[in-house]
Homo-oligomer: A and B are copies of this chain.
């Protein structure tokens, strides 16, 4: 019975994936609340019953979607920072900023779903969205801690600083998401990076040198 299911499991996996993809599209387009399960079914070329065979509830679809997407995001930032040739902590922090912006810039609808829609889809998803914020903040915080430990920047409340950094990035992305204007994100991103580095006491020459080499 179990081995008989093996090819089925692969088919099942693909089916789930297709439903998740469809749900992602529909959620991005309509927002979670206004997205009907029937819409997802149509997009996934299946039926409502088919969806409820694979998922226990509409809610669970969003949860799985957000969870896996968040994992991918944080992983991407970490990898981008590790790829940074310089081991200098300031350069790493700068790379993290660039990575966050680049990822969101490259996945506009995903950003919309994760940053904007997540908050409005009820109390549960708000918690989930804020957990995502926390993960990013913790990530940034760890880079700042490293910079403090190496003496690259003066000691400071890295938790507050990381919160401020993420908030600033977040707001910039939100503005970009909402604007009809296509892509000033890269441009304003450079200005933002300078300000954020300055805010934690990185010397002016260091910022200028990063600006020259980094981009």
Q: Footprint of B on A, CB under 8 Å? A: 31, 33-34, 116-123, 125-126, 130, 133, 156-157, 159-161, 163-172, 174-175, 178, 188, 191-192, 195-196, 198-201
Contacts and interface: CB of A to CB of B under 8 A. Distances in A.
Number of copies: 2
**A-side binding surface: helix, strand, loop or mixed?**
helix
A169 B165 CA distance: 10
A119 B120 contact: yes
A181 to B, nearest CB: 12
Contacts of A33: 33, 120-122
Contacts of A200: 195, 198
Contacts of A174: 130, 133, 167
B178 A168 contact: no
Nearest to A165: B168
